[in-house]
A and B are shown apart, each in its own frame.
Chain A
Amino acid sequence: MLQLRPPRPSMSSGRWPGAAGPPLLAEIYTPAMEDGWPTTAVRTPAAPRLSLADFATMAITFFSLGVTLQVVLIDAGASPTRAFIASSVIFSATSEFAYLAVRDSGGSDWAAIAAGWVVATRFGILAVSLSPKLPEGFLRRAAAAVNAFDPNVAVAVQQPDPKSVEREFWRTTAGMMIGWFAGIAVGTFLGNVLGDTGRWGLDAVFPAAMLAIIGNLLRRRDGLITGLAGGLICLTLLPFAPAGLPIILSVLGVAAGLFFVRSEVGST
C-alpha cells in the first residue's frame, strides 16, 4: 500500500537471512508487519527454513539478551532467585524493562505493572498473525500462541502450508528458548559478579535491541510517524505525569500514524 519495500533478495532466495550472517531480527520482523498485515502475510517464492547456522545464531542472540536482562534486573535490586523466576515465566523482556523504568522513576507497583501490560500487546498482535496459519486445534494453537515472539512468528508465517508453519515455528522457538534459558541462568550468576552494569554499557543494550525489533516498522512511513509520536508523547509527559502514564498514553501515537495513512490514501 504505502512505501513498502519488496522482500530483500536474501528473503526470496529461499534462505533465511541468518544463513548469510547473524539473524537480523529487524529484518525477519518484516513479514508479520508487511503490507496487508495481519490478514494476509507476504509470501516469498520459497519459504525460509532454519539452517543449523541460523539455529545457533538465534540461540546466541537470545543467550546474550538473557544474560543482559538478568544482570540489569539484579543490578536494579531484584534478588537472583526472583530475577530468574521472573524471566522464566513472564515471557516478555520488554514488559520487565517497562516495569523497571517505571519503578526506577518512583512509580507505584501497579503503574509499573500496567506499563508492562501495555507493552506486552505486541505479543498479542504477533499471535494474531500466527494463529490462523497453524493447523486447526485449540491446544496446539494455544501452545504456539504463548510462545509467540518476533523472530519465530516472522519465520513461521512465511511457510506455505499449516504443517510447515508449525514445524518451522517450533524449530525457531527451540533455538530461542535454549539460548534464553542458558542466558538467564548464566546472567543470574554474573549479576552478582559484574556489579555496576553502567561500566559495561549494559543499560544501553535493551533500548538498542528494542529499536532493532521495531526497525522494519519504523521503515514504513506510518510506522515511523507512529513511533515518533509515541516517543514524543512519552517525552512530553515524563517531567510531570505520574510514572507509568507516559508509557501507557504513548499508545495514542497510533492515531498520528492512522491519520497519516488516511491522508496518504486520499492523496494518491
Chain B
Amino acid sequence: MTTVAIIVMTIGAWGQRLAGAFLVGPLLERRPVLARAAGLIPAAVVMAVIVSLTLLKGGDLVIDERLAGLGVAALLVWRRAPFIVVVVAAAVVTAGLRALL
C-alpha cells in the first residue's frame, strides 16, 4: 500500500463521514428519493467488493474454495447466525476444502 493511498483513503473515509454529517444529511432530508438511493448504495458496492474478493485471483476470474466459504456464510447470514459464527465458518470451510482437495 503506497503512502499516497494511505493518505488519500484516510481523507476519503474521514471526509465522507464529515460530509455526511454536515452537508449530505440536510440535502437528503429534502429529497426522499435521494435518501432511499443513498441507503441502497452499500448493498451494491459492498457486493461488488465481495464478488471481487471471492472470484479474483491475480486478475483472473477463478472459482475455487473461497466461493464455497462464501456460500456457507450466505446461508448463515440468512439464518441470522451470530457475526463471529459466520466469519469463522467461512474460514473453516475454505481452509478445510483446501486441505482436502
Could you list which residues of chain A lie within 8 angstroms of chain B, going by C-beta atoms? 21-27, 33, 37-39, 57, 60-61, 64-65, 73, 78, 82-83, 85-86, 89-92, 94-99, 101-102, 104-106, 109, 112-113, 115-128, 130-132, 138, 141-142, 144-146, 148, 198-215, 217-218, 222-224, 226-231, 233-235, 238-239, 243, 246-247, 250-254, 257-258, 261
Question: CB within 8 Å of A: which of B9-25?
Answer: 9-10, 12-14, 16-22, 24-25
Determine the distance from Cα of A243 to Cα of B49 in the docked complex, in whole angstroms.
Answer: 12
Contact of A200 among B16, B46, B91 (CB under 8 A): B91
Contact of B50 among A91, A202, A210 (CB under 8 A): A210
Determine the distance from Cα of A122 to Cα of B90 in the docked complex, in whole angstroms.
Answer: 24
B101 CB within 8 Å of chain A: no
With both chains docked as a complex, state the minimum distance between the C-beta of A223 and any C-beta of chain B, in angstroms.
5
Determine the distance from Cα of A206 to Cα of B91 in the docked complex, in whole angstroms.
Answer: 9
> Known: A119-B45, A124-B19. Contact between A99 and B86, CB under 8 A?
no
> Known: A22-B84, A235-B51. Contact between A122 and B45, CB under 8 A?
yes
Interface of A: prevailing SS: helix
Does A205 lie within 8 Å of B28, measured CB to CB?
A: no
Could you list which residues of chain B lie within 8 angstroms of chain A, going by C-beta atoms? 1-2, 4-6, 8-10, 12-14, 16-22, 24-25, 28-29, 32-33, 35-59, 61, 65-66, 69-70, 73-74, 77-78, 80-87, 89-96, 98-99
Name 19 interchain pairs, CB-CB below 8 A, sorted by A. Answer: A21-B82, A38-B35, A61-B83, A90-B10, A91-B13, A96-B9, A125-B42, A127-B17, A201-B90, A205-B90, A212-B83, A212-B86, A213-B46, A222-B36, A231-B48, A235-B51, A238-B52, A250-B48, A258-B33
Contact of A214 among B2, B16, B46, B55 (CB under 8 A): B46
Q: Which 9 A-B pairs have the closest CB atoms?
A: A230-B44, A201-B95, A250-B48, A208-B90, A124-B20, A204-B69, A253-B44, A127-B20, A208-B73
Does A83 lie within 8 Å of B1, measured CB to CB?
A: yes
Complex contacts, B90 vs chain A, CB 8 Å: 201, 204-205, 207-208
With both chains docked as a complex, state the minimum distance between the C-beta of B3 and any C-beta of chain A, in angstroms.
8
Does B25 lie within 8 Å of A128, measured CB to CB?
A: yes
Determine the distance from Cα of A246 to Cα of B77 in the docked complex, in whole angstroms.
Answer: 25
